[in-house]
Amino acid sequence: MRVIICSLGSIGKRYARIIKEAWPEIEVAALRSGLSKDSCKYVDRSFTSEEEAIQWNPHAAVIASPANQHLRQALLFTAKNIPTLIEKPIGTGDERADEWEELAKRSRETPVYVGYILRQDPGANIIKDLIRQKRIGQLISARFYCGSWLPNWRPDTDYRKSVSARKNLGGGAALELSHEIDMALFLLGDLDINYSECWHSKALDVESEDQCLIVGRDCNGCLVTIEIDYCTKIPERYVSLRGSKGSIYWDLIKGTITQATEGEESEESVIGLKSDERFYKQLSLFWNASKQGGHGLCTLEEALKALSIIKDINRS
């Protein structure tokens, strides 16, 4: 089996490492711009030409390039019926609608999925089941928070030169931290956004907005708040749900879920999943998508809903 990875930034290298460690028999190639001289021991060969990469006849493609390249490269590989996994976010929101429609048409025959990795955390399905079972009654409010420090994301790289810092390449909190937007959609369904704001905290030397606040409601009237930033030195990441009969708190960093239900003692469950395990599970589902339908992966349609929210945020 041959897999092509577009770009060898930090996420591209991570995909290459996990593929080689879990499936050493897979031949991994990288499609690179040719500007970087960094090597990666998990890559068997490199191409600087998209034409050469296609002629290599890969069995699958992982698009880990800047977000402004995602749609164009996805169209390139799906034109050759090559199953494609697109790292989040799926795009920047500036793409043409007819090109998304073309990719959606092709995805009916060729697997196309998006790397919203939190879906692979068992906590996501545990929380979804608890909501479905109404363990804490009717949902009243749901808060999704992710705060981190951008310079710590890629310690060996000047954060000011990273994709995250550059708005034109798909940087900005709304796009870079859109996992929380996708998770809100995954757990609660479609959202009606009432208010959103992105701004620059001035804590970082970047041209992109490093904070974003989104407020809305789900179809049942539950108040939904999504707050994301990469200007927080002490990282936090959680989902907090409040219902008519209790509450649920999912700490994504500690890997714990705490339930507090009326008339019962608080109960804490330890998930303890490592980040690499999410990627392994996602890749396993992707390899088998042609036969098993990609159940458990983020579909193109679902990822476009998240992008639509981001587009509205940027417009406002």
Mean pLDDT in residue range 230-240: 97
Q: What is the pTM of this model?
A: 0.94
pLDDT in tens, 39-94: 789 999 999 999 999 999 999 999 999 999 999 999 999 999 999 999 999 999 99
Tell me, yes or no, whether 99 and 16 share the same domain: yes
Query: Do the domain assignments include residue 199?
Result: yes
Tell me, yes or no, whether 132 and 84 share the same domain: no
Phi and psi of 227, rounded to 5°? -125, 120
Q: Are 204 and 184 in contact (CB under 8 A)?
A: no
Could you list the beta-strand ranges (E) of 156-310: 191-199, 211-218, 223-229, 231-243, 246-251, 256-261, 267-270, 298-299
Tell me, yes or no, whether 130 and 262 share the same domain: yes
Q: Reading across the β-sheet that carries 256-261, which strands appear in turn?
A: 191-199, 211-218, 223-229, 139-149, 231-243, 246-251, 256-261, 267-270
In angstroms, how far is the first alpha carbon of the chain from the final one? Answer: 45
Tell me, yes or no, whether 12 and 110 share the same domain: yes
Tell me, yes or no, whether 189 and 93 share the same domain: no
Query: Of 84, 117, 150, which one is at a domain's C-terminal end?
Result: 117
Query: Do the domain assignments include residue 46?
Result: yes
pLDDT in tens, 265-312: 889 999 877 889 999 999 999 999 988 888 999 999 999 999 999 998
CATH number, position 61: 3.40.50.720
Query: Do the domain assignments include residue 170?
Result: yes
pLDDT in tens, 99-113: 999 999 999 999 999
Mean pLDDT in residue range 132-153: 96
* Strand 60-63 versus strand 84-87 pairing type: parallel
Query: Do the domain assignments include residue 248?
Result: yes
**Percent of the chain at pLDDT exceeding 90:** 83
Tell me, yes or no, whether 137 and 6 share the same domain: no
pLDDT in tens, 18-42: 999 999 999 999 999 865 667 789 9
- pLDDT confidence of residue 121: 96
Range of the structural domain that residue 96 is part of: 2-117
- pLDDT confidence of residue 316: 66
Tell me, yes or no, whether 159 and 79 share the same domain: no
- pLDDT confidence of residue 37: 63
Tell me, yes or no, whether 149 and 170 share the same domain: yes
Nearest residue to 53 (alpha-carbon basis) of 17, 35, 27, 20: 27
Query: Do the domain assignments include residue 278?
Result: no
Query: Rounded to the nearest 10 degrees, what angle do helices 179-188 and 122-132 cross at?
Result: 30
Rounded mean pLDDT of the chain? Answer: 94
Query: Do the domain assignments include residue 237?
Result: yes
Residue 152's SS3 state is helix
Phi and psi of 310, rounded to 5°? -65, -40
Query: Do the domain assignments include residue 254?
Result: yes
Mean pLDDT in residue range 152-164: 88
CATH number, position 221: 3.30.360.10
Tell me, yes or no, whether 48 and 149 share the same domain: no
Other Cβ atoms less than 10 A from the Cβ of 199: the count is 12
Tell me, yes or no, whether 128 and 182 share the same domain: yes
How many structural domains is the chain composed of?
A: 2
- pLDDT confidence of residue 262: 82
- pLDDT confidence of residue 315: 76
Tell me, yes or no, whether 80 and 172 share the same domain: no
